[in-house]
Structure 1
Amino acid sequence: MPDGRQRCDIGRVKATTSFRRAAVAWAAGGEGGASAAEAARARAADAGVRRVVLVEGDSDLVALEALAERRGRSLDTEGVSILPLGGAMSIGRFLALCGPAGLDVPVAGLCDAGEAHHFRRVLERTGSGPQHTRADLERLGFFVCDADLEDELIRSLRAEAVVDILGEQGDLRSFRTFQKQPAQRERGLPQQLRRFMGTRSGRKALYARAFVEHLDLDRVPRPLDGLLAHV
């Protein structure tokens, strides 16, 4: 039977998950309007949210949580809530909920290189000042993956080690078949691996955890490590 501290931690995780769902539902622009935003605020209070991290998708969330665990941290119990945007274009709505006009908590984030310009424009519009470089974004707590998180993780692990992980997950035969496709034959192994991650729903999130669990902690991708250190 869980002791009092364990029950508290379990309750915090549940409350954080409830807040995440409410925030994502509100930002999606569905039914509810102001009442949906208020529900998200109430659930944030229940969860003790003290800081929000905005990421593009579920694989980013999984990777950040897995790295935190390897660093001996529990983000939920620290009051750090990670919210997947479901696409970079939603960042403005999430900032409206979490920023000074909403929850008024510090906000950080992670994005792909191709979306950095959009993050930069929205942050400038919301009063953060000019964000000309990645260093400017990082000072605000926003880190950019080059080109995306999968690319960063594959390079940190090295492609041959990633192939071994595919074997551990039972995906090696599928990957070998994928490599034989005409569109893949001229690509190098790292590019093939990155493309393979997106060929099935849920695969990126599955491998985000597996990759982080296999990482040498001295070779963690800089954007992921920098973001975790920031929060």
Structure 2
Amino acid sequence: MDATERFRTAVVEWAASGTGAPAAAEVAHELAAGTALRTAVLVEGVSDRVALEALAARHGRDLGAEGIAVVPLGGATSIGRFLDLLGPQGLGIGLAGLCDAGEESHFSRALERAGLGGGLSRADMEPLGFYVCVADLEEELIRSLGTTSVQQVIDAQGDLRAFRIFQKQPAQRERMVEHQLRRFMGTISGRKSQYARSLIDALELTRIPRPLDRLLAHVSAS
């Protein structure tokens, strides 16, 4: 396990347990002080981490080797706790992040409480390194790739028959295919992460969703 993976694991345990995880807190402190770790990228879930790391790899980048740890929050409502631990009042390391549009207010309020600004709009959050998906990661990737190409990826993964059956469900029949695809990717545990990587791999690098593209550029420059 490399330093960034150890840091990620320790921070998640520390945030979940609060003061009840002194060993995790000690590991996080030691790694932040004694390694080349320079930035924590806070994302809502594992699929966001998978997408960001897969996109970095397509650009020939290894985020861990660059001292960048992508840390899944386990839900946007936890952002405040992670900012407390890692931000100016905690470890004081570089911060960046990605969230869904529906969770933007959680992120902006938490950034304000952490002392990183006041009355933050989406435009204000971006110079801080925090970016918002138009709806969510899946919507961004589906829109960038196009529904026909997404279904080709689903076919390559051996899931096309399952998707066709899903489309025939009463709750899905009248929905646009974009919505069906988004919902399908969340129906089974692990499927969002599976398709986050597959869709990133299928995208032309000129069509990368703006939030992902800008976030990677930010942590490259920071």
* TM-score normalised per structure 2: 0.94
Is the alpha carbon distance of 1:30 and 1:200 closer, same or farther for their aligned partners in structure 2, counting shifts above 3 Å?
Answer: farther
- Could you tell me whether the CA contact under 8 Å between 1:131 and 1:137 is conserved in 2? no
Aligned CA-pair RMSD: 1.4
1:105 counterpart residue number? 93
Question: What residue identity is the alignment partner of 1:32?
Answer: G
Aligned: 1:93 with 2:81? yes
Select 1:63's aligned residue among 51, 59, 68. 51
Alignment partners' CA distance in 2, 1:30 and 1:170: 42
2:26 counterpart residue number? 38
Question: What residue identity is the alignment partner of 1:126?
Answer: A
Displacement of 1:27 in angstroms is 0.7
Q: Which moved more, 1:183-192 or 1:93-102?
A: 93-102
- Could you tell me whether the CA contact under 8 Å between 2:43 and 2:98 is conserved in 1? yes
Select 2:126's aligned residue among 113, 134, 138. 138
Q: Which moved more, 1:99-108 or 1:159-168?
A: 99-108
1:114 counterpart residue number? 102
Is the alpha carbon distance of 1:176 and 1:47 closer, same or farther for their aligned partners in structure 2, counting shifts above 3 Å?
Answer: farther
Secondary structure at 1:77 match in 2: coil
Displacement of 1:131 in angstroms is 3.9
Displacement of 1:51 in angstroms is 0.8
| Count of residue pairs the alignment pairs up | 219
Displacement of 1:194 in angstroms is 0.2
| Residue-by-residue CA offset, 1:61-103 (whole Å, 9 max, x unaligned) | 0000011111111111110111000001111111122112222
1:160 counterpart residue number? 148
| Residue-by-residue CA offset, 1:101-143 (whole Å, 9 max, x unaligned) | 2221110000000000111111111112224421111011100
In the TM superposition, 1:1-231 aligns within 5 A as 14-29=2-17, 32-45=20-33, 47-231=35-219
1:4 counterpart residue number? none
1:3 counterpart residue number? none
Question: What residue identity is the alignment partner of 2:125?
Answer: L
- Could you tell me whether the CA contact under 8 Å between 1:15 and 1:46 is conserved in 2? no
Is the alpha carbon distance of 1:212 and 1:132 closer, same or farther for their aligned partners in structure 2, counting shifts above 3 Å?
Answer: same
Alignment partners' CA distance in 2, 1:95 and 1:227: 17
* TM-score normalised per structure 1: 0.91
Identity percentage of aligned residues: 62
Alignment partners' CA distance in 1, 2:33 and 2:195: 32
Q: Which runs of 5+ in 1 are unaligned?
A: 1-12
